[in-house]
Copies of this chain bind each other. A is one copy, B any other.
Amino acid sequence: MNFASDNTAGVAAPILEAIAEASADFAGSYGGDRWTAALSARMAEVFEADVAVFPVVSGTAANILSMAAIARPWSGILCSHDAHIMTDECGGAEMLTGGAKLYGIDGRNAKIDVDVLSRRLETWPGGVPHHVQPAAISITQASEYGAVWTPEEVGAIGAVVRRHGLRLHMDGARFANAVAALGCAPADVTWRAGVDILSFGATKNGAMAAEAVIVFDRALADSLPFLRMRTGHLLSKSRFLAAQLLAYLDGGLWLELARHANRMAARLAAAIEATPAARLAAPVEANEVFAYLSASTDRALKAAGCAYHHWTSGIPDAANPPREGEVLCRFVASFQTSDAEVGRFAEIVGAG
């Protein structure tokens, strides 16, 4: 039972095979290969748009490159207090932008509240040089607390962003899980709703190390080749990045893997809801489960060797705080999570 994170999983078999196949012969380096070319075409189909695609090896890489593409050193970037770029990337966005400032915006389940955002922007002292100037909004899909943004919700943020002449970034570390949950077209929840640039994640959902910056507004792409190179994120054997992503997209593998993870998470959630010894701390909309556990249930799971995290850096929703004796825990399901594992979990929790 390993629910510690979706990045504790291995690599999906078709992706491993694609890596091996791509190795057979010589190929152009630094992106001058046929896999990279095919990936751009493939992403254009997936997103129904003439996107610019920059494959990289990590979500942090995709995020900091995106931030540097849309913000200047004196920019403000507004995001959730719990956004990965805010809390978990060791100031990478601040570094690569040359000193931009991240501002936390309130909201539930790590989704920023559109009204809070709107008020903040309306009262910003725009143009006054004493103050950092708002340039970008970043939202995470699915959010750090497992919530999924609907096309309508993204569109509402997008409308505010446009009104203020800003740019909208989506951190899609779990983009596949969100799209699988929504059942919508990838375009619906990105550029059609106002997203300018996307960190398209694959690693958490079955790739080895592969993400991509997807740029919907090509005017934003000019700086990215240079930013990627100077951060060491243009791989010499780029074909292996592209090959992973092609296999990931091929035949809808990405959504298939994500649907499995989501299903496993739903079963974990159902087990939690079925027992008085635990309760959900946030709605389970993708592949993450945040739950308050009784101390005894927590002990029982740990004793059974179940891997998961005690969550101490915050709670999903201020309106739903822990009660006396409860422990906030995070469980993440992945493409590799098995029915057996989830069944075992349900048993322990049911007995907890």
Contacts and interface: CB of A to CB of B under 8 A. Distances in A.
Nearest to A23: B10
Given A20-B16, A90-B226, A312-B123, A232 B7 contact: no
Interface in A16-37: 16, 19-20, 22-30
Interface string A282-296: 000000000000000
B237 A7 contact: yes
B74 A226 contact: yes
A209 B228 contact: no
A234 interface: yes
A91 B95 contact: no
Interface string A96-129: 1111111000000000000000000001010001
Number of identical monomers bound together in the oligomeric complex: 4
A324 interface: no
A312 B125 CA distance: 10
A348 B131 CA distance: 34
A60 B236 CA distance: 10
Nearest to A26: B2
Contacts of A208: 19, 23, 237, 240
A240 B125 CA distance: 26
A222 to B, nearest CB: 10
A70 B25 CA distance: 38
A198 to B, nearest CB: 16
B73 A229 contact: no
Interface string A315-337: 00000000000000000000010
A5 B29 contact: yes
A342 interface: no
Interface in A43-81: 56-65, 72-74
Nearest to A87: B131
A177 interface: no
Contact of A90 (B23, B229, B235): B229
B25 A90 contact: no
B237 A209 contact: yes
A209 B27 CA distance: 14
Nearest to A84: B130
A4 B232 CA distance: 21
A9 interface: yes
B95 A230 contact: yes
23 contacts: A8-B26, A9-B26, A10-B23, A16-B20, A16-B23, A19-B208, A20-B20, A59-B232, A60-B229, A61-B231, A73-B227, A74-B226, A74-B227, A89-B232, A90-B130, A90-B132, A91-B99, A92-B232, A94-B101, A203-B236, A203-B237, A209-B236, A232-B233
Interface of A: 2, 4-5, 7-11, 16, 19-20, 22-30, 56-65, 72-74, 87-92, 94-102, 123, 125, 129-133, 203-204, 208-209, 223, 225-237, 240-241, 307, 312-313, 336
Given A8-B29, A23-B208, A209-B236, 4 more contacts: A10-B27, A91-B99, A91-B132, A125-B313
